[in-house]
Amino acid sequence: MRELLRVTAAILAAVWMTAPAAFGAETGTDTAVTRESARMTASGLVPDDGVFQYTEQCGDAYEVVYYSEEERSYYTIRVSVFTGEVASISVSLLDSRGSREAVLTEEEAGAIASEDAGEVWVESVALDTVAGRKRYDVKCVGDGLEADYQINPESGRIIKKTIQYL
């Protein structure tokens, strides 16, 4: 039984590792999406001062990470290993965990997220407290995307946002 499990695991690993190359052959492209092509795709989505940090493959996507000193934010862009399309963008503000006071209303937090994301519907807004710090968690949906925001309830600054393309 153990031998059967080992053989099955080895076969699945081999299939998973060769899937991007096989996909490239099926679609008539010479090669699958590479780390470098994923990095080039991601570079157009970060500020001009964005400094490349690293690229790693995580399942069916490359995660490309940049840091912007001006915005003091990390940008994580997931690029599909199969299509080269951007699957999601996540921006995390460095050293911001929220605030002790909630000055903004839920409506104001929803408006901040909606203005940033574009044409979306605010699905939910919730005031959350983590380690004594408050933040608004805002979920939005739009045509072909879902967006999650964490907003500082005192300053209105976006602490973190993740936009996932459907």
The domain segmentation of the chain, as residue ranges, is 2-93, 106-165
Q: Using alpha carbons only, how large is the chain's radius of gyration in Å? A: 20
- pTM, two decimal places: 0.76
Spell out the CATH class of 106-165.
alpha beta
pLDDT tens string 60-116: 999 999 999 999 999 999 999 999 999 999 999 988 878 999 999 999 999 999 999
Task: Decide if domain 2-93 falls under CATH 3.10.450.40.
Answer: yes
Q: Kindly report the length of the chain.
A: 166
| Beta-bridge partner residues of 76 | 65, 90
Which long-range contacts link 37-44 to residues 24+ away (Cβ below 8 Å)? 37/84, 38/62, 38/64, 38/79, 38/81, 38/84, 39/64, 41/77, 41/79, 41/84, 41/86, 42/66, 42/75, 42/77, 42/79, 42/86
pLDDT tens string 113-157: 999 999 999 999 999 998 999 999 999 999 999 999 999 999 999
